[in-house]
Structure formats: C-alpha cells, structure tokens
Amino acid sequence: MSLADRPGHEVAAEVRRGSLKAVEVVEAAFKRIEQVDGRRPALGAEPQPDDQQFIHAFLLADRQRALAAAAAIDQKVAAGEDPGPLAGLPLAVKDIFCVRGTPSTAASRILANFVAPYSATPVERLEAAGAVVIGKVNLDEFTFGSSNESTAFLPPPGNPWRPTHVPGGSSGGSAAAVAAGESALSLATDTAGSIRQPAAFCGVVGLKPTYGRVSRYGLIAFASSLDCPGPAARNVTDVALALQAMAGRDPRDATTAAAPVPDYSERLEAGVAGMRIGLSSDYFRIVAPPVGGGEIETRPIDPDIEATIRQAAERLAQAGAVIVEDVPLSNTHLAIPAYFVISRVEAASNLHRYDGVKYGHRTADPVADLHQLYRKSRGEGFGTQVKLRILMGMYVSAEQYEMAYYEKALRVRTLIRRDFEEVFNPAGDYRLDALLTPTTPTTAFPLGAVYGDSVVMQYADALTVPANHAGIPGVSVPAGLSADGLPIGLQLLGADFSEATLLRIGRTWEQISADDAWRSQRPMVLAEVGP
C-alpha cells in the first residue's frame, strides 16, 4: 500500500519513532497529487475535455513550504524531541482559512489576490501537533453551496469515486483530497453540513464539532452563529487525533467554550455495549421541492441509503447497543427554511466588509465616487451565488419583514434545539447517547445536475443543518456503497461536547464493518494509480 493511502495514525507513529521520514510522507502526497489532481483550477477557466477525469482539489500545492516543514519534523525526531501526535501528516487546508503567507481566497474573485498576514488558530494548532500544510483546497465560493460548483476557480473538484459527479460541498476539495489519498487530513468548516455532506459523498470521515469547541479565529466568516471548523480524514482514529489538536479555548475567539477537552482517543476502542442509539423517521424523509422544480412535498430519502442505515443500526445492536426507534424530531423539516433566513442575514452582514478599499479586488474601471467604487468592485468580485445570499439577507432582515422572517427563524431554532435536548436528556424518556441518521438524502449527483437551482441545492443539507442550528456535534462515517457504487454516509449526532461518544460509536462501526466487501473497493481515480 502506498504511503499516501495508509492510516494517518500509523504513519505519524512511525515518524515519531524515527522509522519513517516525514519528508517521504510528504513526497508521497505530492506524487499522488500529480497522478490524480489534474490541472490547477484558475479564475474563470474554460472547461476542457478531460477535466472530468481528475480531482482538481488543490488551489495551491506548495511543495517547497511542505518539504521545509517536513524536514524540520525529521530534525526534531533526530534531536530526540517529539514532533507531536500528527507528526508528518499531510494537511490540506480548505481555502476559507488564513494561512500566513499563502493566498487565502475563499474561492472568490474578490479575495483572489489576498495573501493572509497571519494563520488561523486551528491551522497553527494542527501544525504545532506535527501536521504539514501541503496546500489549500477548493470550496464553494465563501462556502455558499453543497456541490463545490460555485467556486470562482475552475474546473470545480470532482468526486474521486466518479469524477463526473460532485464531491459535495462546500468542503468538496477537502473530502475529495482525503478520499483520493492526496492528503491524510483536511481542515474544513461546517455551517449547514459542509464537512459531513462531502465526507458522505466521498466516503471519508468528517466531523462537525460542538459550536465553540474549535476556534474560528482566522476563518473567513460566512454565518458566525453556525460556522464550525472541523477535520476530515479517512478513518475515525485520525479524526480524533486532529480534533484533539484543534479543540479548546482560544483567547482570540470569545465564542470558544471553556469546557475541558477530553482525551478523544482514550475510549475509542471501548465499544457500544449499553449505549442508547436513536433512529428517527424524521430523518428518513425530507420536505422539499422535487429536483427540476415544483411545489414542496414530503418524500422518502433514497431507499438504498435508508436500508444501509437501518442495517448499520441492527449491527450496532448486535454489538450491544440499545436501538431506540421512532424518536420524534418533529421540527427537522423547518431547519432548511430557517437556515434560508438566518444564514443569509449573517452572510449579508459579514460580506459587507468587502469594499475594494482595505484588501481584495478593486475595480480597474474609473469611478466617480466611493459608492461607485463599492458597486463596481463588489459587482465584479462576487459570484452569482454570493450575490443571491446577500440579497436574501437584505430582504429578510428589512424592518418590515424582520418579525415575520428573522425573528421567526430564531424561534424555530429554539424548537429544533429543544427537540435535541429532549432526546439527549439523561433523565428524559429517550436518554440517547446518540442519534443514528443518514448524512444525506441522496448520494453524489452529477456535475451540473442541480447547480443553478439554489432551492433544490439547499435541501442537500436537509439532514445535516439541524445540528448547526442546535450547535450540537455530528460526524459522518462511511456506511457502504449504493447499488451504483457511490458512497453512503451514516451520521451520528449527540449532545453538546459529546464528540468522544460519537467517535467511539463511529470507531465501533468501522470495526464491525471492517470485513465488508464494500470496504475493499477503491475510488475510481485510484484504479490506474496502482497499490
């Protein structure tokens, strides 16, 4: 097996011991990038015939910087020092985080020329734990999307399992890079499902921590009350190690929680005996318009996905868990309507800072006054989906609609939060340790099949966004492959700060399913790469 495909925790352990060089690990990642990534995405690039054979995850792959960092880790080991639990692991950073000295673009023309003067806290912490930043990966512009197709840097990433299909979004580059072995880890963000949904589509593990568990300092803001940085990797153990490095208070982000950070690896192998895991019919259907448009309807999710999740529940029961059926989460269907309001209001507010004056794109056209400078710079710099979000934010927060929409949405958020509090209450009727749900209503869809229909696209997050409203943690873990060979993700949701429990259940699932036939399948782009 190539170094690029090996589990990160094994690789890091060998680097720490000195039996493997961090430089070799990083070289293997760059070799894989050369094999599968294809041409580097560029602003407004025209499509080319062979684009859909490659991943196109990386906006920046900085070999020199990465090799220098890897060499420093090898020197530490040689000097008898411990380079940390992530020693030498390649890290692909979603280009929504500032990394000192690198272009930090948010996949937008308006920030295409912005070079970050500082690094985000999660980046600094992962590097301090030994991870090596190998580059920045693509995303939906300002994270606004669920397919990664709204990026200003084209071609958009493809799904390693089938590059004619989307990798999901907004962290499409992150999930794709990890799935294809281009990186062991990715640092991403989740505002409505942007880590978990692409993780499900690409067959990797993605964790959205509890709001406040990981610092947002240095993250380019979208919806500040919902944005959560978190890791993606190919297995649960690696995700636990990455979270360990990132989690905890940060004096530079006042919303980080002062709650103690547990050891996420300690009880990872402890199994699920006696744990109470809930299934809810509210997560096996969605209330959404049909693809192609039409009135909002209630319909079941993809039957392949439902069957996979129910089988996973049965097998967790055989491993000793207590499965609690028919758990009511009756406000789930309101999560997307409320998200349409809350996220747009926060986005419009956060994106007012882009003005062509302080940093980022400024129009080259002559302008008569400051207002014209704003209008031209923002008109040229923002993509269509960004403009759409800002306009909706303006509308629903206007004085005459605020009560009907924004305040109403914040009260619906209370109802969604209460649904979860009820089922996780240790003294309540359900007393759940976790909910087991599908991560997504469908598997990955073809590039171009949904993009442009902003309503249908938003419902790709129907099963992930409730956790963002409530602030609770969630993890997506590979659960199998659909009949047509695309990954299916299972989602585990838990009470505030229950990441250790969710990871433990996820790890148990990995062990239960370790010998399943689907586990030996590899993404399509790796077919010609060789073992």
Partner 1 sequence: MPNPADGPITAEVFAHLVRLAQFELTEQERDYLRSELNGQLKAIRQLEAMEIGDELPITSHGVPYGPAIRPPIRQDEITGSPLADEILEGAPQVQDRYLVVPDIPHEELK
Q: For residue 402, which amino acid is it?
A: E
If binding is defined by CB under 8 A, does position 423 make contact with partner 1?
Answer: no
x/- track of binding to partner 1 for residues 436-475 (CB under 8 A): -----------------xxx--x---------xxxxx---
State the nearest-atom distance from the C-beta of 111 to partner 1, in Å: 10
Considering only residues 340-399, where is the footprint of partner 1 by CB under 8 A? 340-341, 348, 352, 355-362, 367-376, 378-380, 382, 384, 387-388, 390-392, 394-396, 398
- CA angle in degrees (0–180, nearest 5) for 422-425-431: 100
Indicate the residue among 75 and 414 with the shorter CB distance to partner 1.
414
Q: Which of 7, 289, 328, 446 binds partner 1 (CB under 8 A)?
A: 289
Q: Shortest distance, CB of residue 16 to partner 1, whole angstroms?
A: 32
Q: What whole-number distance in Å separates Cα of residue 215 and Cα of residue 245?
A: 12
Cα–Cα distance between 442 and 193 in angstroms, integer?
14
Interface with partner 1 (CB under 8 A), residue from 38, 212, 438, 478 = 212
> Does residue number 408 form part of the binding site for partner 1 (CB under 8 A)?
yes
Q: How far is the CB of 198 from partner 1 (least distance, A)?
A: 22
Give the separation between CA 236 and CA 43, rounded to whole angstroms: 35
Active-site residue (options: 170, 174, 482, 498):
170
The residue (of 274 and 293) whose beta carbon lies closer to partner 1 is 293
Comparison of 39 and 411: residue with beta carbon closer to partner 1? 411
148: left (phi over 0), alpha (psi -120 to 50) or beta: left
- What are the phi and psi torsion angles at 520 (to 5°)? -90, -5
| CA angle, 511 then 93 then 238, to 5° | 20
Asked if the peptide bond before residue 281 counts as cis, ω within 30 degrees of 0, the response is no
CB of 370 to partner 1, least distance (A): 5
In this structure, are residues 108 and 347 in contact, taking their beta carbons and an 8 Å threshold?
no
**Stretch touching partner 1 by CB under 8 A, among 85-93, 189-197, 299-307, 328-336:** 328-336
Catalytic entry in 21, 76, 94, 136: 94
Under the criterion CB under 8 A, does residue 123 sit at the interface with partner 1? no
For the chain, report the end-to-end CA distance as a whole number of angstroms: 5
Query: For partner 1, which residue of 5, 7, 118, 310 counts as binding (CB under 8 A)?
Result: 118
Tokens at residue 224, please? 């500040």
Around 199, how many Cα atoms within 13 Å sit in the side-chain half-sphere?
35
Considering beta carbons, is residue 106 or 412 the nearer one to partner 1? 412
User: Does position 410 bind partner 1 by CB under 8 A?
Assistant: yes
Active site residue 194: yes
Q: Which of 39, 353, 411, 519 binds partner 1 (CB under 8 A)?
A: 411
- Distances from the Cα of 23 to the Cα of 65, 124, 174, angstroms: 12, 20, 22
Listed in sequence order, the residues at least 6 apart from 40 whose beta carbon sits closer than 8 Å to its beta carbon are: 56, 58, 59, 61
**Contacts of 452 by beta carbon, 8 Å cutoff, 6+ apart:** none
What three-state secondary structure class fits 110?
helix
Task: Based on the residue annotation, tell me whether 94 is a catalytic residue of this protein.
Answer: yes
Q: Are strands 185-190 and 276-278 parallel, antiparallel or unpaired?
A: unpaired
Q: How far apart are CA 166 and CA 59, in angstroms?
A: 17
Site for partner 1 in 234-263 (CB under 8 A): 249, 251, 254-259
Give me the least distance between CB of 510 and partner 1, in Å please: 28
Restricted to residues 480-509, the positions that interact with partner 1 (CB under 8 A) are: 496
Q: Can residue 400 be called a binding residue for partner 1 (CB under 8 A)?
A: yes
209 touching partner 1, by CB under 8 A: no
Q: Does 225 bind partner 1 (CB under 8 A)?
A: yes
Catalytic residues, by residue number, are 94, 170, 194
